[in-house]
Amino acid sequence: MSSQWIPVPIREGVHSRQAHCDLPEGTYERELGREGFFGPASHLHQRHPPTGWVDWEGPLRPYAFDLNRLDAAAPSPFAVPPFLGNADVSLRFWRLDASMDHLVRNSDGDDLLFVHRGAGALFCDYGHLPLRDGDYVLIPRGTQWRLAVDSPLQLLVIENRDGAYRLPDRGMVGPHAVFDPAVLEHPHIDEAFLAQQDEERWVVHIKRHEQLSRVTFPFNPLDAVGWHG
C-alpha cells in the first residue's frame, strides 16, 4: 500500500497566492522543503534575504569555487582529482588541450560531460559524435571512449557513482520539461568512425573503485561495424 503526505495547506499573514509569483512588496521568498524540488514545501515571505548572512562557521558553510584557476591540462578525466564528491557523485573540472591517445572506461558509474568551452568529437563503442560548448554528453558505465580535440576543451565531468542517470517524474509540466527529446543526438557509425579503426597498439584505462587498470590491445577496440539496443 502506497502512502502520501498529509495535505494541509495553510496561509498566514501577507502572502502570494502561488509560489514564486507576485511576491508581497519588499519581501524575499524562502522555500522550505525536505527533498529539494520534490515533496511538500512551504514558501515564506521574509523582510531580509535569506542569503544575507555576514559570517558562517562550521562544516555547512557554503563555498564558491573558481574553477578557472584550475589551468593545468590532463590527458584523461581519471588524472583529474574531484573537487567535490560523496558516496553518490563526484565532480571534476577537466581541461583537455590535445586529442587523447588512449581510451578510458569508467566501471564505477555513468559520466555526464558538460562542454564548457571548446569543440571536438567523441569516439566511443557506439560511434562518432561531434561536440561543442554547451553540449551535454551522457556516457553509460562501461563504455570505452576518447575525445578528439578541435579547439582546447574545458569540461565539467559529473560521475554518477554506482548509479544511472534517469529522468524524474515530470508530472504536469509535460514531456518537454528538463529538455526536449527532439534535440537528442547519438553516436553514429559514420566515415569518421570507420576511418579511425586500425591495427595499431591501443591502451584502455579502466577505473573501478577509484583504482586504475590498463589493458593493451594490438588493435583499436573501437571497431564496431554496427549496433542495436
CATH code assigned at 126: 2.60.120.10
**One domain for residues 126 and 41:** no
Please, are residues 163 and 88 in contact by the beta-carbon 8 Å criterion?
yes
Q: What per-residue confidence (pLDDT) applies to 180? A: 83
**Residue range(s) defining the domain that contains residue 145:** 70-165+184-217
Residues 114 and 156 in one domain: yes
Same domain (yes/no): 142, 109: yes
pLDDT at residue 120 is higher than 80: yes
Q: Are residues 30 and 118 in the same domain?
A: no
Number of domains in the chain: 2
Q: Is residue 46 part of a domain?
A: yes
Checking if the pLDDT of 38 tops 80, the result is no
Residues with Cβ within 8 Å of residue 198, at least 6 apart in sequence: 219, 220
Regarding whether 161 and 98 lie in a shared domain, the answer is yes
Q: What is the pLDDT of residue 71?
A: 86
Q: How many CA atoms lie within 13 A of 89 on its CB side?
A: 8
Same domain, 93 and 206: yes
In a domain, 191, yes or no: yes
Cell of 29: 521568498
In a domain, 84, yes or no: yes
Shared-domain flag, residues 42 and 138: no
Q: Is residue 40 part of a domain?
A: yes
User: Angle 141-147-150 (CA atoms, 0-180°, nearest 5)?
Assistant: 155
For residue 41, name the pLDDT band (cuts at 50, 70, 90). Answer: confident
Say whether both 108 and 43 belong to one domain.
Answer: no
Q: Is residue 228 part of a domain?
A: no
The grid cell for 226 is: 554496427
Same domain for 34 and 94, yes or no, is: no
Q: Given pLDDT bands bounded at 50, 70 and 90, which one contains residue 175?
A: confident
Both 75 and 111 in a single domain? yes
Examine the domain organization and report whether 125 and 194 are in the same domain. Answer: yes
Listed residue (90, 91, 97, 106) closest to 74, CA to CA: 97
Q: Confirm whether 174 is domain-assigned.
A: no
Closest by Cα among 71, 79, 63 to 97: 71
CA distances from 74 to 98, 101, 139, 203 (A): 9, 12, 19, 17
Q: Backbone dihedral region of 52: left (phi > 0), alpha (psi from -120 to 50 degrees) or beta?
A: alpha
For range 45-70, the mean pLDDT: 93
Whether residues 90 and 128 fall in one domain:
yes
